[in-house]
Amino acid sequence: MHGGDDLVLGRRLQAARERAFVGREEELAVFDAALRGGCSVVYVYGPGGVGKSTLLRRFAEHAAATGRSVTTVDGHTLDPVPASFEAEAEAASVLGDEGAVLLIDTFERVQGLEGWLRERFLPRLPVDAVVVVAGRVPPDLMWQADPAWAGALRVLPLRDLRPAEAEALLDARGVSDELRGPLLAFAGGHPLALSLGAAVAVRDRKASSRWTPQQDVVATLLDQLVGEVPSAAHRHALEVCAHAYVTTEDLLREVLPDDAAELFAWLRRLPFAQSSPRGLFPHDVVREVLEADLRWRDPQGYADMHERINAHLAARIRAARDADVLGAVGSLFFLHRTVGSTAEFQSWSGDGEVYEDAFRPRDAEALVRLAAEVEGEESAAAVAFWSVRQPEAFRLHRRTATGEMVAACSWLRLSEPSDEEAADPIVATAWANARAFAPLRPGEHLAVGRTWTRPDHQGMSPVTDLIQWRSIGYCLRADRMAWSFMAMRHDDPMRDYLRYYDIHDIGQHAWLGGTEWALFAHDWRAVPAQAWLDRLNRLLLTGSEEASAAPAPALAVLSRAEFAEAVRRALKTLSRPGELAGNPLTSSRIVIETGSDPAAALRQLLEQAVASVGEDQRAVKFHRALSATYLHGAPTQEIAAERLGLPFTTYRRHLLAGVERVCEDLWHREIHGAAGTLTERHGHDG
């Protein structure tokens, strides 16, 4: 009675497994060929959860259907010594049974037996026996080095399911159409993640298109895919690898300064870690579950790790060679891949399909032709105009396979408008917008970005990634850029995406060949690069600009006249902190960059500027007037003149000259940074 029930249940379980089994046609064909004498050993390897054990069960069914005896040995239950392995094999008569099939699962648990298995055990098997070794680690190179194994061994790396196969698995598990998108986004083609996610999603009637893996799914996947790690430092290294686009030893050293080399060597040996020219990266599902677990388990630890990695990558962008900028920006933006609409406009895929190329004079004709095809003759005329005047502003994007130009972008650097440039409506409108909101100050420039992309590469694509990364790289690296303008069709779907990143359509539009163009702008003086990056971090870590840390203060963009008036007012209120705190200079670049209390920082800067006037021997009399009036507390200017022993008119002339010196010194610092002293910048003053 009980035996019959077991048999019925066993058949039902087997039938369910057969319905859920999808794909793996190539692997099954290799095994079937081995049963017919094609090879003696099939070595299957792949990361945890990719379906090795499921595949071995199907191999067993195929072998049994041909009348072969089948034995399965599991590394979980073996001691990693030859005697234990042989005892298991002999118990099943593998060594003496012609035509026997030996399936070795979880071989990574007894990986130390690999050399013995190859040199001692396998050569003793009957010639028509078939052995399948399945583990997480690929076979060592000694198999390939020995010519005897050339025809006897077949190595099969087991990959994720293809998209159609993943869909078929969800079909078999009864997943609704509404849930497939989020499930596939999370699990990709990873069989275990798909199966666990499907089981939970089908069970949860409240699951919707916003489904995310619950913590029990995350915990199970972590246990199955990652397992135990040697130490907390190793776990932390794994979390860095999961968060970063690619992990290098220097990145690891930035977060984990101790034992970075040892930890990196450990990471690269993990079965789910893959290598690229830029560094290591984990399997997508491993990445997702490690991220989800850390954010849930230790939000502050996640934030600290993110900020360290973010700071390292931001510094790389600023210091990188031009050829390395795209990779650095892409790595930085990958940290923010889940924020807002970033995922809708960044693909991080197709690496190597297209590449960025410098513009050369011989490319001019093809570039103009591309602009004409994409946007019309008026746009082509603008490209022809600027490619002669600013060839360095252009970047070309080519298909790797053919070298064909499929897109181009430009970032024009403009310091002052000219009548000749006014012929380009987009540039003319950029100047009009800048003048209307906050004109350029001496030494500053604005930049205008344009793109031309063939229709088959528009939308989310590798080309779009490269163009975006170049744009952000330009903005984060530009020196003394006041405004950046990105010209886009007024109805472009990316406009909401740009607003999310504090890049806005601020005013007048341009018309070019009957097409309306919006100029999405950012004032980099009001919100400079570091404040802009800090805002992205708040969006990632808190979901809100206002939550958590307070937003970085916006800079005041003052004209020279406004700046000088603010300096004069600040000198008069130097001893009154409350009034000094309300001075516009507390929002100026020279104060904000100190990171100190604004009123205290402004007072210190004014005192330093007054002191620097006295460093010029030719301006000592100006310094004495400034000190007596503002530093030593003379109640009136008349009393200050009396203390100095000067006629009032002479004192006033010295004081005004000294104030002008202070205004000029601080303005120079505001515009150019703290470069050069007053003495170096001035000649003799009478």
Taking the C-alpha atoms of residue 169 and residue 49, their distance in angstroms, rounded to an integer, is 14
Between 139 and 459, name the one with better pLDDT.
139
Is the pLDDT confidence value at 12 over 70? no
Q: What average pLDDT does range 64-92 have in this prediction? A: 83
Per residue in 500-553, pLDDT (tens digit) is 788 888 878 988 888 899 999 999 988 888 888 888 888 888 865 443 334 445
**Per-residue confidence at 342, pLDDT binned at 50, 70, 90?**
low
Tokens of residue 411, six digits: 């970032």
Taking the C-alpha atoms of residue 245 and residue 330, their distance in angstroms, rounded to an integer, is 8
Contact 74, 92 (CB under 8 A): no
Question: Residue 280 burial by CB count (10 A; 0-12/13-18/19+): exposed, middle or buried?
Answer: buried
Q: Considering only 66-70, 154-158, 416-420, which range has the smallest mean pLDDT? A: 416-420
Q: What average pLDDT does range 31-41 have in this prediction? A: 89
pLDDT of residue 2: 47
Is the pLDDT confidence value at 328 over 80? yes
Q: What b/e sequence results for 287-298 when a residue is b if at least 16 CB atoms lie within 10 Å of its CB, and e otherwise?
A: bbbbbbbbbeee
pTM over 0.85: no
Contact 532, 555 (CB under 8 A): no
pLDDT of residue 684: 39
For 606, half-sphere exposure in the C-beta direction (CA atoms, 13 angstrom radius) is 27
Per residue in 194-210, pLDDT (tens digit) is 777 777 766 665 555 55
Q: What average pLDDT does range 560-583 have in this prediction? A: 87
**Per-residue confidence at 313, pLDDT binned at 50, 70, 90?**
very high
Contact 506, 499 (CB under 8 A): no
pLDDT of residue 7: 55
Q: What average pLDDT does range 430-454 have in this prediction? A: 89
Q: At what angle do helices 598-613 and 648-672 cross, to 10 degrees?
A: 120
The phi, psi pair for 164, rounded to 5°, reads -65, -35
Rg (CA), the chain: 34
pLDDT of residue 91: 55
Q: By percentage, how much of the chain surpasses pLDDT 70? A: 88
Is the pLDDT confidence value at 390 over 90? yes
In 3D space, the residue among 191, 137, 134 whose CA is nearest the CA of residue 160 turns out to be 191
Mean per-residue pLDDT of the chain:
84
pLDDT of residue 206: 54
Taking the C-alpha atoms of residue 440 and residue 419, their distance in angstroms, rounded to an integer, is 18
Per residue in 467-485, pLDDT (tens digit) is 999 999 999 999 889 999 9
Is the pLDDT confidence value at 350 over 90? no
pLDDT of residue 420: 73
Per residue in 424-437, pLDDT (tens digit) is 899 999 998 888 88
